[in-house]
Every structure is written in C-alpha cells, then in structure tokens.
Amino acid sequence: MPDVLPPLLYVQQLRKKISFVFYNALRATLVFNVWLTFLPYFTVWIWRMYFHLGHSLSKQLVDIYQLKYIERENTTTAVNHWIEDYKSRMNLQSFVSDCFEGQIITGVVVIIFVALFLLREWVVQNLPAIDEAEHARVVNQLPPAIREPMFEEDDEQNRPGSPVAPAEEELDEWLNHLSNVKITRAASMPPAGSSSHLEEPEFRRSASMEPFFSENTVGRGNPPYAPLVRNADAPVLNMQPIAEDLFDHHPFIQEPLVDEGNEDHEEEEEEEEEVEEEEEEEDLGNFGDDIEGVLEAIGMHGSFWILLQNATLMSLLIALVLFTVICLPYMIGVISILSVGKEVAGLPLELIGFIHKNLGKITDPLIDPILSAYFDYVWPSILLCCELYLNPLLERYLGKERLLSDQSASSAATGMDHLIALYHQSKPILESTYHRYQAFAIGESSGDRFVCILIGYATIFLFACVLLTRSKMIYTLFGDAAQEALREYQVILKLTMFIAIELLIFPLFCGAVLDLSTLPLFEGASVASRVTFLKSSPVSSLFIHWFLGTGFIFLFAVFVTLCRSIVRPGVMWFIRDPTDPQFHPLREIVERPVLFQYQKIGSSGLVYVFAIFICIGGVVHTINLAGNTILPLRWSPSSPLSTIPIDLLTTQLVLPAVINYLQPKRVFKKWFVDLIVFSCRQLRLTSFLFGTRNPEEEGDLVYHTWSAWIRRAKPPYYPHEPTDVHGAEVSFVWNGQCLRVPNHDRVPVVPNRRMLVPVDPFVFEPLDDTERQMGHPADGANETNNTVIVYSPPNFYRRVLMLVVIVWLVSTTVACAFAFIPLMLGRWLFRLAIEQVVHDVYSYTVGASLLFACWSIASFMLKVITDVHKQQTTWLKLKRLFKHVKRWLFKAWRWMFFLISFGILLPLAFGVLLELYLVLPSSKKDKPLELKIIPIWANGVASMVIAHGFIHVLPENRWRRSIGNVLQGGIGRMNITLCLKEIIKPVVTFSIIAICAPPLMAYIDHKLLGKFNGYKKSIRIAYPTALIGSGIFYLISLLSGLGRNWAETIREETYLVGRILHNHDN
C-alpha cells in the first residue's frame, strides 16, 4: 500500500461520487415530480372532469323533464368544457395552486382507501361465516332446556359420542347436545372464568352508566366488547357458559392435570425469552428490507418501469376511487333530485285538503270547540309566559329582536284565521322550497354538490336496505359469494358509520353543547354570533367545536381514570375499564344491532350533556349572576402590554419551571384524595369505597350526659364484631348492614339482579332467600376473588349521593377560587398602575405570581418559626435560626447569581451578537447605529433558549455535560465556581472577542489608509465579513477532515482486499 495515493485514483473516485450524487439527485427530482406534481395535477383535473360530467347530466335531465320553472340563469348559463377550462388555467400560479389542491385530494383518497382496505381485512378475518350464522339462528330457536353451552377448541377435532352418563339428567342433555351440534368459532365462546350461575343469564356491564337492558346471555370473553363510556356487550347466540362448579358436581368430567415442575417451567421461560430475542433481532433485520421495499415502490430503487407502473396504477386507482366515492353518488343524487316531480312535492297539501274536504263534516263539530278553547284560554297564557320569561333570554343570548310582540296577545282571538291563512300560504312556500331543492341538481357551488352527494348516498343506502331485506332472493340468484360480499360491505358500512359518529360527530356535538353552555364567558357572545361565525368560516368553526369536544371527552375519561385509581377495585363496576384485555369495540359494532348502538350513543350523549350543563354551564351561569364584576372575560389578543414578547418568553421559560416546582397534578390528586377520604369518614362510607372496615364508622354514639356530648367522649372501645358497647357516659350502637359487592371492575352484570347484596354480618350469607339460592351474579368460580364484604351505613344511597354533591361543590368552589381570585387581584393592580383594560392572561399572571410569592414567604416563615420554637433553650433557638438564615442566604446568593448571569449577562451577550451580525447588516444604510437594551435582551433570551435546545438535541458534547454538572442539584445548589469556569468565562470571552475584533480591524484599516469618512459603513461591513470569514474557516476545516476520511476510505476500498488476502493466514 503506497503512502501517497496517486492523483488519478482521486479523480476516478471523485468522478464516481459525482456521478452517483448526480444520478440520485436527478432520480429524486423525477420521483418528487411524479408523486407530488404530476399525480396530484392529474387528480385535481379528474376531480373537475367528474363534476363537469355530472353537471352535463343534470342539464340533459332538465331538458328531458322540461323543468321550465327553474331560474333562467341556472339553465341558460353555458358550462365550459373541462378541456377549455384546462387551457384557460395554463399559468404558473394556477399550476401550483392545482398541484396543492391535488395533493390534498390525493392524500385524503389514499388515507381513506388504506383505512377501508385495513377495515375490510379485519372484517374478513373476524366476520363469522354464513353457515355459522344460520346455525346460530337455529340454535337460538331451540328451547332453553336444549340450548346449553358447549366446549370448543381452535382446530376441528373428532368429537366422541355421548360418554357414560352420570345420574344427573342435566349432564345427559348437555353431553348429547355436545356430540350432535356443529362447532362454532373460538372467538364466540366465553372463557372459563366468566360464567355465572347456570340458571341465570349472564350480562356484561353497560359502559356509560346507562340503564341495563334485558338481553340474552353475554359471556365475559366473547365479542362484542364495549368501548369506554358508551357501549356494552352483546349476547352470544343465547347460550350460557359452563358453570365453574360443574367439575365438582359431576365426577365424569375431570379437569386437566397441571404439571407443577418448576425446573421445566423455568426452562420453558428461558426458551421463550430466547425466541423473543431472536424475533426482535429479525425485526431489526427486516427494517432495512422494509425501507428498501418502500424506496423501490416509490421509484428510488429498481428500474424506471416500476416507477411508471406504480404511478399509472395509482392514477387509475385514484380515478376509480373518486368515480366510486364522489362521481357516482353525485350523479345518483342528481337523478334522484330531478326525478321527484312537482306533484309529489304537493302531495301533503293535497292530502290535507282531501281530508279536510271529505272528513270536515264529521270532525268539525268535535275539533272546532277544542281549537276555540285553546286559542281563547291556553294561547294567551303561552304568550304571557313568553313575554315575561322567554323574550329576555332570547334577547340576551340570541342577540335578536323579541320573539313575540305585544300585538300577538291581541291577535290571540284570531288564531283560527291564522291557521287558515297559513294553510293557504303553505302552497307557494312548498313550491319555492321544491324549486330550491331542484336547483341543487344544477348548481355548481360546493354546497349544491355536497347536497347532491348526500342525497346520492341516501339513495344508495335505501337501495341497499331493500336488497338486504330480500336476502333469500339474492342468495337464490347469485349464490354464496354475492351474499358474503354483500354482507361484508354491509359490515364495513356499519363500522365506518359508527366510527365516524364516535370520532367526528359525537365530539362535534359535545363541543357545540360546551360552547352554548359557556357563552357568558365571552363578551358579546350569543347564539346568533356563533351562527354567523359558522356561516362565514364553516371549517374553522367546525374544527374548533370538534377540538373542544374531543378535549372534554378526553378530560372526562382522565377524571374517570383518576377516580378509579383512588377507590378500591369494584366500586366502578358499572363503567367500562379501558385496560380490560377483552376490550374489543369493533366486534361489538359488528354483532350488536344498529338501533341498540344508537341507543347507547344517545344515552352517552345525555350523560355528557348533563355533565356539561350542570358541571360547567351551571358554574358559569352562577358566576355570571354576580354581574360584570368577573364575567365576561377580557379576551382581546390585539392589545398587548408591550411590543416586546415578554409574555411569550415568560410562558417559554418561567411557566415550565413553575409547573415543575409546584407539580399541580400531584398536588391536586393528593388534595382530591384527602377530600374524598375526609368526606367518606364523615359519611361512614370508608369501607364501601376503600375496602377497609373502621369499627368507629359502623355505628352511632349515644351520649348520656351533656358534658360527654360537649367533650365528645369516646366509648370504652370500638367492637370489631357487630355488637353494641354500653358505657357510663357514651354508648356505641351498631347499625347498618354488610354487603357482598364486586371485587374488581370486570365482573359480569346480570339484569334485574342486585350487585350490592345484603348479607348476614356474622356468617356473610345473603339475607334474601332468592339471592341465597342463586348466588351473587359476580361470584363465578371463585367467590373470594370476585366479591368482597363491605360495611354499608343506614340511608346508603342518600349518603352516596351526598358524597357526590359535597365533592362536586367543594371542588367547584376551590377551582373557582384558584381561577378568579388571582384574576381579580391582577385586574385591580393593573387598574391602579396603568388604568388600562388589559388581557386577562396578564392579570391572572400578575395576581397568581403575587399570591404565590406571599404564600411562599408565609410558608417559609411559618416553617422557620415552628422549627425554632421546638428548641428547648435560647441558645439552641438562636443556633437553629442562624442555620436557617445562613441556608437561605446561600440560596438567595445562588439565585441572584443565576438571574444575573443567565437572566441578564448571557442574554445580553447573545442579543448583541445577534444584533451586530444579523440585524445590523440587513438594516437600511441611513438608519443610525443604535443598540436598544430591552429588544436586545429579548432576542438574546430567545437565542439562548434555542441554543439550549440545540445543545440537548445534539449527541453528547462538552456544553451539555457542563450544564448538567452545574445544575445537577438545582438552582439553589448550583456550583458557582464550575459555572464561571465552564460556561460564563468561555461565552463572555468569545462574545467580547466577537464584538470588539471587527470594529478594531475596521479602525486599523482606516488608520492605515487615512480615510475616516466611511468608518460607519466599514463597521456595517466588518461584522458580516468576520462572520463569512469564520464560516469559510470552519468550512475549510470541515472539508479538510472530510477529505482525510475520504482518502482513508479510498485507501481501504482500493487496497483492503489485498491486505485481507495477505493477512488471511495470520
């Protein structure tokens, strides 16, 4: 291997590198243009062509149906052909706009197509076969005595005939049925531990505290599995699972033997761990293959024919999807709209006229007195109530005129005349409505096309419903394949509909309700203003309401999870546990009826509406009763305190530090737990909510003397058994009862059965004979694991309701205090200082900062005074006081050093460098050279934050280690010496050199040349020249290092083979 590489070798390698880079750059440019320019451009014009075709169809149908009453401008305006439209838009701006619009359409189409493809794959894998469904229907029609549960396995196995039967007739029937019936899917069978008693059907919980419905048996392990808060599980073929105690009662059925060898078990675990490690290594190895496949699919690797093939296939696929999803429903909607004749629209009025004409002679003597009494007595009362109560509310929130004028009361007597006039006026109103309905078909606006597409989908849906009702005819005509395909697409449509409701419509509804309930928060807000904003900016309005609704649903779920983590397991059995491994919401949507799903969603909607209006709207309107003192909020973003973004810097720097110091989540949870524990102790609900039985809560104290009552005397002892304790001054009387309750949140729920079963306090047997015979619904095979005994005080349900009310009132009061006391204090301070209405964020920040400072000082002083007061002698008190003062002086010194160095010195250094090297050269020449301290400081703080983030993003480096070592123990314990040595000194030295060196060089240059008239201009040029020079020097050093590495790479690639061959024997 030569010490110096020949220049020709450098040239050859350089040519190879340049060719490789040039080739890949050209190919990347081609791939970029194909997928992000040509394909979106083709998509947007296919989109427009489809709508032109639909519009041409509507014009032809208008001519066929001879709809002469449609407005002339809608029928006579000629629509340019889409090719002419294409020619008219041949400019760069339109091309870029069309490409961007096409990218949006293409992205949406690809996402929808991939989602539907994955959804169909899931449906194909999880949808039962038609013969299994038929078999299920046959089994459901059998009598209950024959319809018993079955065993099943994953694979088809040979099933023996009936074994030797035990004496019990019940087991005979079960085994005979087992040997004759067809096996069902493994996914449909409940697991062993989920059954309840054989004589009772089993049900799963409803997920959002909805009322339970009487349905068929639900196994704990079979689908569907309800999503959180809104859905419940479905019955599975009316079959009950096998009782867990069947093995104990029937000797011919034995449980499988379990190998208890620990060594074999450990060896199996080790083998499983090795297999998992190998699978992880394979996954890591397959990652590169996946990347290679993606690059080949988009055209970066492989032949250009693959790129052309994939691009053509994607174009045809997008065109087909747009035709199927948009164009076809649009045309069907146009045909449906125009096929509705004028006579059909007037049919309701004709029917009313016919009824009135022919049946009027019979019904008028009966109806006229009722209507006369209504308009004489009831209608004036309604008008009076509207005048007194409804109109003020409408004027306040709707922002409109009065709903009913004073003349309405005087015209109450002519109510029948108004009805008659309304009947005669309704015909032209219906005609105009019908004309507008017909105009949707020929309109070219987005709203008209959207309505046509919706009507087209509605027509397709009705047609599909008709086909589904004729399933036997379809089966006869087309066979199993068509029926299976129709069933799959029906399930896909069902899943898509409910997923859209859950993710889009339901959050949008919650956001709208939340907006309506919080109107008093904002000045000038009303329903009319919200409707106006919706009309002017529909996309923004819908997105804001959807975002608010999604946030509220998420916070509601977080609150439920918080409550679940506080109380014992089993208290919230009526709400679905999201961590349940049997949580399969999609299967539930597939197997539950549509009306039942709508019922669950409606019940959940009522729960959310109640929570929003009571918990949020009620609080807001209660605070609004105080007048204009607190509400509305001053929420004007166009009036900042200063042009310097101090508020943004404070939010970026101070707010995270304050949150990290206060830890509000931990503090709130601790306070909330303490509140619930204290309330439960006062209401004697500790045993029910937390599972610990406190003897002092299981009875009442009876005081025999006034002095004992004043002194709050205690009995001699609290019994651990349900007995009374009698004393001289006070006696303890045990009352209440014991309950057997669920011990975890995944217990099955049986309708019309009590989950809180009263039991005897001594033997823990149910007091009710029926409950004693049937057992607890959640017992299953293991009563100890599924249920637990807790104490219940008298008036249990009233106490639970009182607990909820107390916790809600206290939490709301504390939240309002934390929200509005700092706000009012900040408003008062700003009113005294600047006499200007400022944003409430500033007011709250100032008020909260002042209260936090006062609270910190007061808590510190109280802690010091308490600690000093505990000392015995004066010398120890002075010594402890001196220790506290010394410790806090050191903390104050470190904080002062931190604020001066990191809050003033370094930001000013960064800001001056930014001003001199970037802002000053780009400013106007006639602008004087001046440095403003406050803007420079603000820019320096922002630059320092960016530099700090950049340092932590980079790999391990010296600056990151220095910052970590300095601030390892926090600001109060920072190492000042190390900070000065490793951070402050290098940064300040570099800043001084960078600030002073360029003007010094400019001064020397002008001193030597003897020209001082252009000194300011030279200073403007000196800093960017120094920056460019430093950049060139750094670039040269970087290229030098890269050159050395490249030379080493060339050396290894050229001579490494020979070296390996020579060294192979060694």
CA–CA distance, 313 with 304 (Å, rounded to integer): 14
Length of the chain in terms of residues written: 1066
CA–CA distance, 326 with 329 (Å, rounded to integer): 6
Q: For residue 358, count other CB atoms closer than 10 A to its CB.
A: 9
Is residue 228 pLDDT above 60, yes or no?
A: no
Burial 839-857 (b: 16+ CB within 10 A, else e): bbbbbbbbbbeeeeeeeee
DSSP assignment of 202-233 equals: --PPBTBSPPP-------TTSS--PPTTT-BP
Is residue 775 pLDDT above 70, yes or no?
A: yes
Predicted confidence at residue 94, as pLDDT, reads 82
pLDDT interval class at 652 (50, 70, 90): confident
CA neighbor of 605 nearest in space, from 704, 510, 674: 510
Predicted confidence at residue 420, as pLDDT, reads 59
pLDDT higher at 946 or 576: 946
Q: What is the dihedral sign for C-alpha 639, 642, 643, 649?
A: negative
Is residue 376 pLDDT above 80, yes or no?
A: no
Predicted confidence at residue 684, as pLDDT, reads 92
Give counts: helices (H), strands (E), the chain.
41, 5
Predicted confidence at residue 209, as pLDDT, reads 36
Section 442-467 average pLDDT: 84
pLDDT interval class at 341 (50, 70, 90): low
DSSP assignment of 809-840 equals: HHHHHHHHHHHHHHHHHHHHHHHHHT-----H
Predicted confidence at residue 398, as pLDDT, reads 52
Contacts of 856 (CB under 8 A, 6+ apart): none
Least confident residue range of 254-268, 275-289, 838-852, 857-871:
254-268
Contact 198, 184 (CB under 8 A): no
Predicted confidence at residue 210, as pLDDT, reads 37
Q: How far is CA 575 from CA 31, 121, 589, 689, in A?
A: 52, 31, 18, 15
The DSSP bridge partners found for residue 522 are: 633
Predicted confidence at residue 781, as pLDDT, reads 53
pLDDT higher at 116 or 238: 116
CA–CA distance, 595 with 7 (Å, rounded to integer): 82
Q: pLDDT by residue (tens digit) across 405-438?
A: 444 444 444 555 555 565 566 667 777 777 777 8
Is residue 807 pLDDT above 90, yes or no?
A: yes
Predicted confidence at residue 689, as pLDDT, reads 92
Predicted confidence at residue 471, as pLDDT, reads 58
Contact 941, 653 (CB under 8 A): yes
Beta strand 699-703 with 737-742 is unpaired
pLDDT interval class at 165 (50, 70, 90): very low
Section 86-93 average pLDDT: 71
Tell me which residue has tokens 């052309």.
308
Three-class SS state of 80:
coil
pLDDT interval class at 748 (50, 70, 90): confident
Section 171-178 average pLDDT: 44
Is residue 989 pLDDT above 70, yes or no?
A: yes
Percent of the chain residues topping a pLDDT of 90: 16
Section 751-756 average pLDDT: 84
Contact 741, 755 (CB under 8 A): yes
Predicted confidence at residue 422, as pLDDT, reads 58
Q: For residue 739, count other CB atoms closer than 10 A to its CB.
A: 20
CA–CA distance, 497 with 506 (Å, rounded to integer): 12
Predicted confidence at residue 656, as pLDDT, reads 83
CA–CA distance, 178 with 170 (Å, rounded to integer): 12
Predicted confidence at residue 476, as pLDDT, reads 64
Q: How far is CA 420 from CA 379, 410, 566, in A?
A: 17, 18, 64
Contact 180, 142 (CB under 8 A): no
Least confident residue range of 66-70, 76-80, 358-362:
76-80
**Which H or E run includes 123?**
helix 92-126
CA–CA distance, 415 with 405 (Å, rounded to integer): 15
Domain ranges of the chain: 24-123+300-339, 267-299, 636-676+798-870, 876-1019
CA–CA distance, 584 with 581 (Å, rounded to integer): 8
Contact 251, 625 (CB under 8 A): no
Structure tokens at 746: 């995944």
CA–CA distance, 757 with 759 (Å, rounded to integer): 6
Answer whether the bond into residue 632 is a cis peptide, omega within 30°: yes
Predicted confidence at residue 84, as pLDDT, reads 67
Percent of the chain residues topping a pLDDT of 70: 70
Q: pLDDT by residue (tens digit) across 482-518?
A: 667 777 777 888 888 899 899 999 999 999 999 999 9
CA–CA distance, 942 with 945 (Å, rounded to integer): 5
Alpha helix ranges (H) inside 932-1014: 933-953, 958-966, 976-979, 985-1009
Predicted confidence at residue 412, as pLDDT, reads 43
Section 218-234 average pLDDT: 37
Least confident residue range of 67-81, 706-720, 765-779:
67-81
Predicted confidence at residue 663, as pLDDT, reads 87
Predicted confidence at residue 1042, as pLDDT, reads 84
Predicted confidence at residue 504, as pLDDT, reads 92
Predicted confidence at residue 465, as pLDDT, reads 74
Is residue 619 pLDDT above 60, yes or no?
A: yes
Predicted confidence at residue 441, as pLDDT, reads 83
Is residue 933 pLDDT above 70, yes or no?
A: yes
Beta strand 730-734 with 757-759 is unpaired
Alpha helix ranges (H) inside 255-346: 262-298, 304-322, 328-339, 342-345
pLDDT interval class at 814 (50, 70, 90): very high
CA–CA distance, 95 with 87 (Å, rounded to integer): 11
C-alpha R_g of the chain: 40
Predicted confidence at residue 63, as pLDDT, reads 74
Answer whether the bond into residue 160 is a cis peptide, omega within 30°: no
CA–CA distance, 240 with 219 (Å, rounded to integer): 7
Predicted confidence at residue 243, as pLDDT, reads 41
Predicted confidence at residue 401, as pLDDT, reads 46
Predicted confidence at residue 179, as pLDDT, reads 42
Count the alpha carbons within 13 Å of 189 in the hemisphere toward its beta carbon: 15
Q: What is the dihedral sign for C-alpha 499, 504, 507, 508?
A: negative
Contact 224, 234 (CB under 8 A): yes
Contact 582, 205 (CB under 8 A): no
Is residue 196 pLDDT above 60, yes or no?
A: no
Predicted confidence at residue 134, as pLDDT, reads 44
Q: pLDDT by residue (tens digit) across 632-648?
A: 888 776 666 666 777 77
Predicted confidence at residue 809, as pLDDT, reads 93
Is residue 744 pLDDT above 80, yes or no?
A: yes
Least confident residue range of 285-289, 364-368, 572-576:
285-289
Mean pLDDT of the chain: 76
pLDDT interval class at 469 (50, 70, 90): low
pLDDT interval class at 279 (50, 70, 90): low
Is residue 539 pLDDT above 70, yes or no?
A: yes
Q: How far is CA 274 from CA 282, 284, 433, 711, in A?
A: 12, 15, 73, 69
Q: pLDDT by residue (tens digit) across 906-928?
A: 999 999 998 888 888 777 776 67
Is residue 473 pLDDT above 50, yes or no?
A: yes
Section 39-59 average pLDDT: 87
Tell me, yes or no, if the pTM score tops 0.85. Answer: no
Largest pairwise CA distance in the chain: 124
CA–CA distance, 562 with 670 (Å, rounded to integer): 11
Predicted confidence at residue 506, as pLDDT, reads 93
Three-class SS state of 110:
helix
Predicted confidence at residue 17, as pLDDT, reads 84
pLDDT higher at 561 or 164: 561
Section 755-768 average pLDDT: 88
